[in-house]
Amino acid sequence: MRMKFKGYKSKRITDSSVPNMFAFTFIRNFLTDREYESIRDEYLIGNLNKSQVNQVMGDVKWLFKNYKGLNVVTIEESKGDITKFIL
């Protein structure tokens, strides 16, 4: 899996290979952490219970297995940092 990160002050994009475990942890934290609550609201995700988070993670894992090169998650923070996960 690939992770691409671009800071809001930077013109350069950092591209790195990421073990799936780290990517899944990042996605799970995005779905559950209070820090990302306002961003989730912007995307109409809202607060998810444990079973909903598990369903989303199962769907993401299915996508990883079946679609290589797919842009799975793009997260743009309010200050402008952008993080992308690509299979």
Whether 58 shows a pLDDT value over 80: the answer reads: yes
Look at residue 79 and tell me whether its pLDDT is greater than 80.
no
31-65 per-residue burial string, b: 16 or more CB within 10 A, e: under 16: bbeeebeeebeeeeeeeeeeeeeeeeeeebeeebe
Contact assessment for residue 31 and residue 45, using Cβ atoms and an 8 Å cutoff: yes
Q: Are 30 and 22 in contact (CB under 8 A)?
A: no
d(CA 82, CA 9): 11
> Does the predicted model carry a pTM greater than 0.85?
no
Residue range 59-67: mean pLDDT, rounded: 82
Q: How many domains does the chain have?
A: 1
| Position 64 pLDDT exceeds 80 | no
pLDDT, tens digit, 9 for 90 and up, residues 4-55: 888 888 888 888 887 777 778 888 888 888 888 888 888 778 888 889 989 9
Give the pLDDT confidence score for residue 55 in this predicted structure: 92
Please indicate whether residue 68 or residue 30 has the higher confidence score (pLDDT).
30
- Pair of tokens at residue 78: 């309010």
DSSP H or E stretch at residue 65: helix 50-66
Domain holding 61, by residue range, is 2-86
